[in-house]
């Protein structure tokens, strides 16, 4: 059974950088990127993240369907990193998925990951420390992302909260 580690933090907290340090000496690392380069600025961010990863890691880009991708990956990797759950949730909401459907999808791929032999690292944004969004879409997103973060934290054997680049171990 794979050990799941959740790395949660705010924007620019250092969560992705910390997550990249966790595989250690694992020989084969699968990196699942959920972001989409829909505009120039986001494409530049994605490129910067790509350059920060070791060259020998295999990158999979999947903005919505982690279940199918995880099945394709199989047990060929010693570590699987998913960065980030928050963008995945955003993509699903913008694709008009309802909260119940998103929860079901997330529960399904979490179950798949739990069965892997690999070390699993999940990265997500902490969405509950900010102001209440002005729009219904913003509030819906915050609520769904917060609930998925709770689900991931419950399933994880380790949980780190990152603040200003400093990891605080919450669980495990």
Q: What's phi and psi for 151, nearest 5 deg?
A: -60, -45
Which of 155, 116, 159, 146 has its CA nearest to residue 22? 159
- Around 89, how many Cα atoms within 13 Å sit in the side-chain half-sphere? 27
Beta strand pairing status for 166-171 and 158-163?
A: antiparallel
49 counts as catalytic: yes
Q: How far is CA 51 from CA 20, 22, 46, 57, in A?
A: 12, 17, 9, 11
The active-site residue, picked from 6, 9, 49, 119, is: 49
Which residues face 171 on adjacent strands? Answer: 159
With tokens 């990158």, the residue in question is 59
CB of 69 closer than 8 Å to CB of 60: yes
Which of 78, 155, 60, 151 has its CA nearest to residue 119? 78
Annotated active-site positions, please? 49
């Amino acid at each position: 059974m794979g050990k799941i580690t959740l790395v949660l933090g705010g924007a620019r907290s250092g969560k992705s950088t910390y997550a990249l340090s966790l595989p250690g000496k694992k020989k084969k690392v699968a990196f699942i990127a959920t972001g989409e380069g829909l505009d120039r600025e986001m494409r530049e961010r994605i490129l910067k993240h790509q350059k920060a990863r070791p060259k020998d890691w295999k990158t999979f880009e999947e903005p919505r369907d982690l279940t199918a991708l995880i099945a394709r990956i199989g047990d060929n990797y010693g570590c699987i990193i998913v960065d980030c759950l928050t963008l995945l949730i955003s993509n699903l909401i913008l694709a008009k998925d309802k909260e119940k459907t998103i929860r079901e999808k997330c529960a399904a791929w979490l179950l798949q990951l739990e069965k892997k032999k690999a070390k699993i690292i999940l990265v997500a944004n902490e969405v509950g420390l900010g102001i209440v969004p002005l729009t219904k879409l913003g509030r819906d997103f915050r609520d769904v992302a917060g609930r998925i973060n709770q689900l991931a934290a419950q399933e994880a054997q380790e949980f780190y909260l990152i603040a200003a680049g400093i990891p605080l171990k919450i669980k495990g």
